[in-house]
Amino acid sequence: MLAQGSGLTVGAVRESFPGEQRVAIVPAAVKTFAKSGLQTVVEAGAGQAAGYTDEQYAAQDASVEQDRAAVFAAADVLLQIRGGGGNPEFLDADLELLRPGQVLIGAYDPLSDPESIVRLAERGVSCFALEFLPRITRAQSMDILSSMATIAGYKAGLLAAAALPRMFPMMMTAAGTITPARVLIIGAGVAGLQAIATTRRLGAVVSGYDLRPAVREEVESLGAQFVELPLESGEAAESGGYAREKDEEFYRKQQELMHRVVAESDVVISTAVVPGAKAPVLITPEMVEAMAAGSVIVDLAAERGGNCALTTPGETITHGGVTIIGETNLPSMIPYHASQMFANNVASFLQALLNEEGQLEINLEDEVIRETLVCRDGQVTHPRMRERLGLAPLESK
Amino acid sequence: MLAQGSGLTVGAVRESFPGEQRVAIVPAAVKTFAKSGLQTVVEAGAGQAAGYTDEQYAAQDASVEQDRAAVFAAADVLLQIRGGGGNPEFLDADLELLRPGQVLIGAYDPLSDPESIVRLAERGVSCFALEFLPRITRAQSMDILSSMATIAGYKAGLLAAAALPRMFPMMMTAAGTITPARVLIIGAGVAGLQAIATTRRLGAVVSGYDLRPAVREEVESLGAQFVELPLESGEAAESGGYAREKDEEFYRKQQELMHRVVAESDVVISTAVVPGAKAPVLITPEMVEAMAAGSVIVDLAAERGGNCALTTPGETITHGGVTIIGETNLPSMIPYHASQMFANNVASFLQALLNEEGQLEINLEDEVIRETLVCRDGQVTHPRMRERLGLAPLESK
């Protein structure tokens, strides 16, 4: 157990991205931080949209500041749901409030907007973009992509059920038999598996499709049918947990199969994303037109352009009677629990930054630290970021 | 099996009530009618909002008429989702299209607007208001109140899950444990039991409350806890299936109990209605204010004024951070299956109106026919309607 009062302060401001309802620190996390000797400061109203009141933070001995700038001034470590490339509002309004040596932890969407990391670097901060967490067991408790994907998959199932003009479950009633909804989930990562679980819970007949045959067992264990691409796809292996690119012939056959299963589905929830890159287009306009009127597509890749060619990010449209939901921020729609999970993730990461004396120490021997650090001491440090920015590699120490 | 071609025609027009998406005849029902020797005519676009195309009706040999008046002219029997008191638009626009001897079957909300039945009577039609179906086994297949309540209860569960800033299911994840949502269902009729089933499916911890101790077993068999009013309520029996009025002391104790369980709930779905009367107010403003911010109330009694004192029928409001959903037509939000069930109900009822030759015969010996008939030959015939209208009882024949 660490000594009380390391003198370090952790802070969170009200998120400024339009529509964002989450907050990076919840009242329960204040208690966790205190056990590590950390003080907490939050901007007044920071948790309001997520259902956490200023009084609840204060009851855990957090300092609640009316003045947003005062939080930046007091925080040695700033926790953020969206910073950097993920939030232009933050860069425009708050960048000047950052100071050299200040530590930033959160989601920074660094690959989508590498220049935003240059701007952070110029402020002299040490920024940790949790999107870059290595997919190792120790980092699971810090994994914001997984926790937010859990929320998004659940919410996608609900959105689909809410938009469909049919019931999900089969019912045998005095007024006849209701046939269950047929749901197709594309991509069996965390979000896809949660979407399978949720739509199964609601009684739908669910199929799951994924390039990786290895996930068949997980899909089937949730009560869904695994849609198999009849190809010698033994090479459809993984690279860092994500599906690799495939050749043209493969994509043609994939499209044929997809056309057939999409046309037979009442609901399609697509979750195929490649971090930092545009999402692959898997659902063509022709496939949408082959669906029955009233069918629903929920495109979880909307923020990255969408898995469906017709998806309009941030909007719900209809095409030939098919509803296409392009919500770009599903975790924010369940802000209470999304904030709780996010706060647990960043709190877990923060532990890795504290040494035995409870002081901040950026230990580059630790891969969790090394791989997420995007800038420090005025320089962009992350090799992938430097490459994107056309900068020479830093000399290794 | 009846001879083909009795010469009778069944018809349905596009429903005119604002926002109504259901239709009283679905393509599958056309086939059912044909087996009884009946022709079908529908107005073009009648099924569109519910997901049934003109082509699908035509494929079953229904006649699809562009001209609404032509459907009224052709139909010996008109099937309606909402007519009479349930649809002022219908009375204003379509009343003159009705003709003496024409048979109307559907929902007419006769007790809410008795004058509307007088207007129908003046047209000389024979109108059957299915709200008056006796609660007997034989009538179950005709029971539109039950089938629509099934849809409404399911949809209420979805609306609650969609509006809550929390997840419904418990989850144990690397980012911590998510506690399940606590849901209270008030009223364990068809809608209430379906709301219990749906919220349980989604993983919530559910309690069910009802005045009638007899429903405890049903509530518990769905995995919910039965909330008991600690009173000698052995007399809380049923009258025609509905809860009877209780005395003042009973209501006071009920309110105390309700306050406690409402305050502890993340979601309240209330379903307490008395047919044709204003809904009882069970949730006071004080109870709403005792709920945590972010909580959700779905008031299925909104169309009858609401079980919650703060409900605004037809709207979703927030009060002290609590979302109160006052949707008045939930079945219409799942129009595909709601139409299918409604069509099955009216088709079943229509069978009771056909004699062995397949001709219409209003047989008043049949209680299903007798109790639903509200007007005929220019007169309001239903005893309860006559009483409401201040008319002397008709002489019994």
pLDDT score of B241 more than 50: no
The confidence score (pLDDT) of residue B248 equals 79
**3-class SS string, A25-70:** CCHHHHHHHHHCCCEEEEECCCCHHHCCCHHHHHHCCCEEECCHHH
**Residue to substitute from A53, A81, A155, A178, interface B, most B β-carbons within 10 A:** A178
Question: Residues B40-45: what's their mean pLDDT?
Answer: 98
Which of the pair, A240 or B48, is modelled with greater confidence?
A: B48
Give residue A231's pLDDT.
Answer: 55
Q: Does A171 touch chain B (CB under 8 A)?
A: yes
Structure confidence at residue A161 (pLDDT): 98
Q: Is B140 a catalytic residue?
A: yes
Predicted pLDDT of residue B235: 47
Q: What percent of chain A has pLDDT over 90?
A: 83
The closest alpha carbon to A28, from B156, B80, B176, B1, belongs to B176
pLDDT digits (tens, 9 = 90+) for B172-203: 999 999 999 999 999 999 999 999 999 999 99
| A-chain residues near B173 (CB < 8 A) | 146-147, 150, 341
Residue A68 pLDDT exceeds 70: yes
Which pLDDT value is given to residue A387?
94
**Which residue among A141, A203, A345 places its CB closest to the CB of B201?**
A203
Q: What is the pLDDT at residue B239?
A: 46
Check pLDDT > 80 for residue B230. no
Looking at residue A234, its pLDDT comes to 46
Percent of chain B residues past pLDDT 70, beyond the cut = 94
Cβ within 8 Å, pair A165-B340: no
Per-residue confidence (pLDDT) for residue A238, from 0 to 100: 46
Query: Residue A61: left (phi > 0), alpha (psi -120 to 50), or beta?
Result: left
The pLDDT score that the predictor gives to residue B245 is 54
Quote the pLDDT of residue A239.
46
A365 φ/ψ sector (left φ>0, alpha ψ -120 to 50, else beta): alpha
What's the confidence (pLDDT) of residue B112? Answer: 86
Instruction: Please answer whether residues A355 and A84 qualify as being in contact, where contact means their C-beta atoms are separated by less than 8 angstroms.
Output: no
Confidence (pLDDT) at A264: 96
CB of A53 within 8 Å of any CB in chain B?
yes
The mean-pLDDT minimum among A70-79, A83-92, A146-155, B247-256 falls in A83-92
What's the average model confidence in pLDDT over A142-156?
97
For residue A236, pLDDT beyond 50 = no
Domains (ranges, CATH) in chain B? 9-142+335-389 (3.40.50.720), 149-329 (3.40.50.720)
Percentage of residues in chain B having pLDDT higher than 90: 83
A56 close contact with B: CB closer than 8 A: no
Contact B151, B338 (CB under 8 A): yes
Mean pLDDT of the region B37-57: 96
Decide if A341 and B175 are in contact by the 8 Å CB cutoff.
yes
Q: Does the pLDDT value for residue B233 go beyond 60? A: no
Q: Do A140 and B341 touch (CB under 8 A)?
A: no
B143 labelled catalytic: yes
* Pairing relationship of beta strands A316-319 and A296-299 according to DSSP bridges: unpaired
Bridge-based pairing of strands A322-325 and A225-227 is unpaired
Give the model confidence (pLDDT) of B102-126 as tens digits: 999 999 999 888 999 999 999 999 9
Please give the pLDDT value at position A397.
52
pLDDT at A243: 53
Checking if the pLDDT of B240 tops 50, the result is no
State yes or no: pLDDT of A242 exceeds 60.
no
Which pLDDT does position B367 carry in this prediction? 96
Please indicate if any CB of chain A lies within 8 Å of the CB of B174. yes
Measured between beta carbons, the chain A residues lying within 8 angstroms of B344 are 175-176
Residue B86 has pLDDT above 90, yes or no: no
pLDDT number for residue B244: 52
Partner A contacted by B172 (CB < 8 A)? no
Mean pLDDT, range A82-103, rounded to an integer: 85
Interface with chain B: mutation pick from A54, A144, A154, A200, highest number of B CBs within 10 Å: A154
What tokens appear for A114 in the block? Answer: 């590498």
Contact between B201 and A198 using a beta-carbon 8 Å cutoff: no
* Residue A395, number of CB atoms within 10 A of its CB: 5
Asked if pLDDT for residue B3 goes beyond 70, the answer is no
pLDDT of residue B246: 59
Q: What is the pLDDT of residue B396?
A: 63
Residue B228, pLDDT score: 84
- Rounded CA-CA distance A315/A81 in Å is 22
CA B23 to chain centre: 14
Of B140, B294, B344, the CB nearest to A51: B294
Mean pLDDT of B11-40: 95
Does the distance separating the beta carbons of B159 and A171 come in below 8 Å?
no
Mean pLDDT, chain A, as a whole number? 92
